[in-house]
A and B are shown apart, each in its own frame.
Chain A
Amino acid sequence: MAFIEINGQQFEVDEDGFLLNPDTWIEDVAKYFCKEEGIDELTEDHWKVIKYLRDYFFQFGIAPMVRKLCKDTGYSLKGIYELFPTGPAKGACKLAGLPKPTGCV
């Protein structure tokens, strides 16, 4: 497995660059990932989605369904894509340090 270094700290990531352990996530991880997911700068809107995803994940053990994400944050799917050009899964979940989506993606 590969490691990335952020401010002198090592983080284990998989071959798609997803953080391997959600517990090790810090805000700098999201800042580090944002460029490669097509985001120039993380705004308050971005943080709102990221915080929501992390809260949901630690409460329920899963990432929310897209409809749930949109309903609870108030962003439309189009709005989510404007914030995270690579989408809610590859973009937002990755920045939030959630496990990589599985199944027939």
Chain B
Amino acid sequence: MAQARTDIGPPLYKEMLPPIIKENYGKWQYHEIVKPGVLVHVSETGAKLYTVRAGSPRLISIYFIREICDLADKYCDGYLRFTSRHNVEFLLSDGSKVDALIAELTEKGVPVGGTGNSITNIVHTQGWVHCHTPATDASGIVKSVMDELFEYFTTMKLPAKLRISLACCLNMCGAVHCSDIAILGIHRTVPKIDHDTLHKVCEIPTLTASCPTAAIRPNPKLKSVEIKAERCMYCGNCYTMCPSVHIIDAKNDAVSIWVGGKISNSRIGPRFSRLAIPFLPNNPPRWPEVVNAVKHIVEVYAANAQPGERMAEWIERISWEKFFEVTGLQFTDKHIDDFTLAQTTFRSTTQFKW
């Protein structure tokens, strides 16, 4: 313990930059998308950096990592990077090697794309692979959705970028709250309490304080707590704090779909995503209901938005009532906010469309 080397931080990124990037750091003049998945950055020195972006399933084996390392050795002098959406980027100083690299990636089943007005990789979470609070799976749905929307990864035919994200519970690890389309796991039943173990393994004040709707109160007689069912909206936060509260329910756990979030400041400022579909069943291994719903929203958006318009901009232009009309999605009581700042989301104008 005494000799442990600690607090050394990550390795300095500069040590891992390809020479062409080191030499032209801060000197880039412009870039172009050569074709789907291929970028070229041109420096004021005239140097050209080619980037080949390829999809990755994020959850990858060390064998996959070694294979992409081999490709980086062969085409990029051993350099590559991962993007903030878990795509792999091969960084080439020699543009003549781009097509050979793409051919080899394609042969291995690694798709090239994710640039420009495409649907790039889905930012997602742990799901049933590793977390203990999920209401749905991550890798499974992501694979199913990307299979169905694959053509949008390898082309750039959408009006604008379309970001899809997934989180398997409403802790929302990742980007679901700010994505064009978000897939979010939800529970629909009140947690069950294991009174026998609760006082041994849980801090009761922490548990009661974890509930956003104050549905939990102590039950001193049982040395436990009780949940007012009619106040509970199944967020699962209490389970995060206390292992004796059980919320996972194979039959009733489900998936919801959200739309219209963005994080960039271009044209209109950032937006939170909002509820589009409150409930779709968990239907592994292919989640056809979820896949169809996402695909449908993508297609309606693609057919109706103007060039350059993100999902949020399109919806705000046509209005939410038109969004529900053109998508054919049902507007229900579930869509009406009833939390702390609900009032700010109600309509306080006579302006609306029939």
Contact = CB atoms under 8 A, between A and B. Distances in A.
A61 B200 contact: no
Interface string B191-208: 000000100111111100
* Residue of A22, A100, A102, A103 with highest tally of chain B CB at under 10 A: A102
B1 A99 contact: no
A22 B204 CA distance: 13
Contact of A104 (B197, B203, B240): B240
Given A20-B200, A61-B205, A102 B1 contact: no
A103 B204 CA distance: 14
Contacts of A23: 200
Contacts of B227: none
Given A38-B1, A60-B205, A61-B205, A103 B241 contact: yes
Contacts, number: 35
Interface residues of B, number: 14
A85 interface: yes
Contacts of B200: 20-23, 99
A99 B202 contact: yes
A85 B6 CA distance: 12
SS class, residues of chain A in contact with chain B:
loop
B344 to A, nearest CB: 29
A99 B201 contact: yes
A78 to B, nearest CB: 11
Nearest to B206: A62
Nearest to A63: B203
B171 interface: yes
Given A103-B240, A103-B241, A104-B171, A62 B203 contact: yes
A63 B207 CA distance: 12
Contacts of B206: 62, 102
Interface in B157-205: 171, 197, 200-205
Nearest to A98: B203
Contacts of A20: 197, 200-201
Nearest to B1: A38
Contacts of A61: 203-205
Interface string B293-328: 000000000000000000000000000000000000
Nearest to A60: B205
A20 B243 CA distance: 12
Contact of B1 (A22, A60, A85, A100): A85
A23 B1 CA distance: 31
Nearest to A62: B203
Given A20-B197, A20-B200, 4 more contacts: A21-B200, A62-B204, A62-B206, A99-B201
22 contacts: A20-B200, A20-B201, A21-B200, A38-B1, A60-B205, A61-B203, A61-B205, A62-B203, A62-B205, A62-B206, A63-B203, A85-B1, A99-B201, A99-B202, A99-B203, A100-B201, A102-B202, A102-B241, A102-B242, A103-B240, A104-B171, A104-B240
Interface of A: 14, 20-23, 38, 57, 60-63, 85, 99-100, 102-104
